[in-house]
């Protein structure tokens, strides 16, 4: 699904214009980005959790030359699916209560 398709889907589901759906999606992605940048964990209970993990520095290899290179340490975004999402993806599963929104600060 592309961003345009997601915006159209949000607009149809929420019965709002595509422009409003786009503003909503952009606000959500900005909120998630800001929370992760601060090191916070963002939880949509039942749906999933966005968090940041650290990757340590390591040695890699250039696939073209075979020469060793140093890969620096970095922070990466991580998403862990919640129970609601997992149940919805299983075939033949019944209804499950929907997600709620919360932010946990360190």
3-state helix, strand, coil in the chain (%, to 5): 35, 30, 30
Which has the higher per-residue pLDDT, 85 or 36?
36
**CB contact at 8 A, 12 and 31:** no
The pTM score is 0.72
* Mean pLDDT along residues 30-37: 95
pLDDT tens digits for range 50-103: 999 999 999 999 999 999 999 999 999 999 999 888 888 877 655 555 555 556
pLDDT value of residue 91: 74
Other Cβ atoms closer than 10 A to 44: 18
- Encoding tokens for residue 64? 């073209």
pLDDT value of residue 100: 58
Question: pLDDT confidence of 26, banded at 50, 70, 90?
Answer: very high
**Residue 21 reports pLDDT greater than 90:** yes
Length of the chain, please? Answer: 106
Q: Does the 39-106 domain belong in CATH 3.40.309.10?
A: no
Question: pLDDT confidence of 105, banded at 50, 70, 90?
Answer: low
Helix (H) or strand (E) holding 29: helix 18-37
Nearest CA to 33 out of 72, 95, 74, 77 is that of 77
């Amino acid at each position: 699904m592309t961003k345009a398709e997601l915006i159209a889907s949000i607009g149809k589901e929420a019965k709002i214009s595509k422009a409003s759906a786009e503003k909503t999606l952009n606000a959500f992605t900005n909120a998630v980005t800001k929370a992760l940048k601060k090191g916070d964990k963002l939880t949509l209970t039942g749906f999933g959790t966005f968090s940041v993990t650290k990757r340590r520095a390591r040695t890699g290899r250039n696939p073209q030359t075979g020469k060793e290179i140093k890969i620096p340490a970095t922070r990466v975004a991580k998403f862990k699916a919640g129970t609601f999402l997992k149940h919805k993806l299983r075939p033949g599963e019944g209804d499950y209560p929907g997600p709620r929104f919360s932010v946990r600060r360190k």
